[in-house]
Amino acid sequence: MVLITRAILSFDLNFYIPIARTTENMETAHARNAVLEKKFYFRKDPFPHRLPRQTASSSPSSSRSPSAPPSPCLLPVESEYELMTVADIINGSPSGEFPGLIPIVESYLNSINIDVETRCALANYLNLIRYRADGRLLTNAKWIREFVAKHPDYKQDSVVSEKICYDLVKAVEKITEKEGKGGSIGWEMLYTSLAKSEEPEGQ
């Protein structure tokens, strides 16, 4: 959240959409597996389109098609936003019309002085978000649902027994300890299980 906020301020980005669409997005987010199966309203082009005082031809942004004039009260017209998947919002649309929040954050990181160790740590966090958005990793909610559904005590009746809850808590404890390394429990939702740079066990 901090990184995208800094990117917005640095690049003067505009992600305004009507509050009614934001409310619809919140309602959609409650659906099961919404990350992969639902779409959300999002602004297509957040970049500013101001022409420099000297000449428009010298501006790097002049090659981009200008967005529609802003509507009153800073709310965008309907042509300025559309339904997107979470993968499109996070990683960018296949058409390239929307760059994606993570590429925007990466552009911001490229524009500031940051040490290699910090950049690598941030890359791991961004990859975790990236892979959960496109389905390569499970979200916490989906992993919990699958854990309960596969538990031998679950009777497919929507009742989560004390035994199931206890085993779930113990499983989360193991995830905290192992972090999915070596195919340990919970690897399906942790980036460390996919990272090529994962350290061998015992180090």
Tell me the per-residue pLDDT of 133-147, one tens digit each, with 9 for 90 and over: 999 999 999 999 999
The confidence score (pLDDT) of residue 184 equals 83
Confidence of residue 106 (pLDDT cuts 50, 70, 90): very high
The confidence score (pLDDT) of residue 198 equals 45
| Range in 70-74, 109-113, 132-136, 197-201 the model is least confident about | 197-201
CA 94 from chain centre, in angstroms, equals 16
148 in the same domain as 103: no
141 in the same domain as 102: no
Supply the range of the domain harboring residue 36.
2-110
Confidence of residue 36 (pLDDT cuts 50, 70, 90): very high
153 in the same domain as 70: no
State the chain's mean pLDDT as an integer: 84
Which is higher by pLDDT, 134 or 184?
Answer: 134
How many angstroms separate the Cα of 8 from the Cα of each of 44, 100, 148, 170?
Answer: 15, 13, 39, 40
- Stated length of the chain: 203
98 in the same domain as 18: yes
158 in the same domain as 93: no
150 in the same domain as 57: no
Q: Is residue 115 part of a domain?
A: no
The confidence score (pLDDT) of residue 194 equals 65
Neighbouring C-alpha atoms within 13 Å toward the C-beta of 59: 15
| Range in 64-73, 84-93, 141-150 the model is least confident about | 64-73
Burial of 187 from C-beta contacts in 10 A (0-12 / 13-18 / 19+): buried
Which residue has 């082009």 as its token pair?
45
The confidence score (pLDDT) of residue 68 equals 52
**Stretch 163-171: mean pLDDT:** 96
Structural domain count of the chain:
2
92 in the same domain as 21: yes
The confidence score (pLDDT) of residue 60 equals 41
Q: Is residue 171 part of a domain?
A: yes
Helix, strand, or coil here: 83?
strand
Q: Is residue 132 part of a domain?
A: no
105 in the same domain as 28: yes
What beta strand segments (E) does 22-156 contain?
A: 39-43, 81-85
87 in the same domain as 47: yes
176 in the same domain as 81: no
**Stretch 91-100: mean pLDDT:** 91
